[in-house]
Structure 1
Amino acid sequence: MEILDIKIPDNAIKVNIYSSSFRDLEKIPKDYTCEGKNISFPIVIEEIPNNTKSMLLFVEDPDAPGGIFRHWIAYINKPIKSIPPGIKKERIVKIDDVQIIQGKNDFGKIGYDGPCPPKGHGKHRYYTIILFLNKELYIDGWFFEDFIRYVKEENIVGYGYFIGIYER
């Protein structure tokens, strides 16, 4: 199975993840876009697979004119049941004893930058994807390839995703 360009093993557990600010396949509220406050939205994770040691988070737009456009890339060093809104746009952010290491999005900035499709381009889908990993990673770079480099299919024990919609 694949979610956008990420290959998921057949034995990975599907986890229900969602935002408390909008439902799957519904419009993303303006505050979480380039036309609003441009802050990250809250994410709720219902059940974490038992052998999860760390997590990878991506927010991606597959409808961008140039192909998949990444709005957020983050490595979370321990399992966490929720991610609050408004995560600071810094390389390393702490939530209690959990460390979030953020990479550069396709705007070339650290952290989350919200939906901002070209005006008149129609509705875009924004996938929020979390991979649950059975190992900790050493993240040494800034880009998607650096975050996914050490992940093999056998490291993905679970996955979850939901889709928000936005157009300008």
Structure 2
Amino acid sequence: MSFTLTSPAFKYGERIPRKYTCDDVDISPPLQWSNTPAGTKSLVLIMEDPDAPIGVFTHWVLYNIPPDRTELPENVPKTPVVEGIGVQGINDFGRIGYGGPCPPRGHKPHRYFFRLYALNTVPNIKQRASKDEVLRIIKNSIIGTTEYMGTYSR
């Protein structure tokens, strides 16, 4: 059985509901995963848009997720540390936590990838880390990865 990531809010490849975007309340969608690899000590979630005009745009960086978690609730608080959930980094909006899809008007639908990494360690990553900092620190500790994708356009 493979490591899988899903969301009860939208199907893979389908439109992300408006409430999870900058056009509405901009809260994080619920996510669920299963079959976390044996030996996982922590998880990292990164959400990004590879279709942004400036290149890959990071929407969410969440790390040190406990290995026994199997889901994230809707509307994870936008605070540096979320009790029982993990530590959040800085997104490319310059803010802590989740920043939803907000593509330029008139563009083709952008793709938003949620990538979940299983690690064989609990890395020592400072609060407010960037995606690049997190990926650099975890690169030799990844024992599994899975992704889920939704789209959005305005």
Give the alignment's TM-score, normalised by structure 1.
0.86
Gaps of 5+ in 1: 1-12
- Counterpart-to-counterpart distance in 1, 2:115 and 2:48: 8
Report the equivalent of 1:6.
none
Aligned 8 A contact 1:18 1:24 in 2: yes
Report the equivalent of 2:111.
125
Report the equivalent of 1:87.
76
Give the 4+ runs in structure 1 shifted more than 3 A: none
- Corresponding residue to 2:35 among 47, 59, 63: 47
Q: Over the residues paired in the alignment, what is the CA RMSD in angstroms?
A: 1.3
Report the equivalent of 2:143.
157
SS class of match (1:27): coil
- Corresponding residue to 1:68 among 56, 78, 84: 56
Are 1:139 and 2:125 counterparts?
yes
Aligned length: 152
- Counterpart-to-counterpart distance in 1, 2:102 and 2:77: 19
Report the equivalent of 1:10.
none
1:90 Cα deviation after fit: 0.4
- Counterpart-to-counterpart distance in 2, 1:99 and 1:22: 22
1:14 Cα deviation after fit: 4.6
1:99 Cα deviation after fit: 4.1
1:142 Cα deviation after fit: 2.2
Report the equivalent of 1:26.
14
Gaps of 5+ in 2: none
Q: Which amino acid aligns with 2:42?
A: S
Deviations 1:30-83 (A, max 9, x none): 010000110000000021111000111001000000100000001034211000
- Counterpart-to-counterpart distance in 2, 1:14 and 1:162: 14
Q: Which amino acid aligns with 1:81?
A: T
Report the equivalent of 1:9.
none
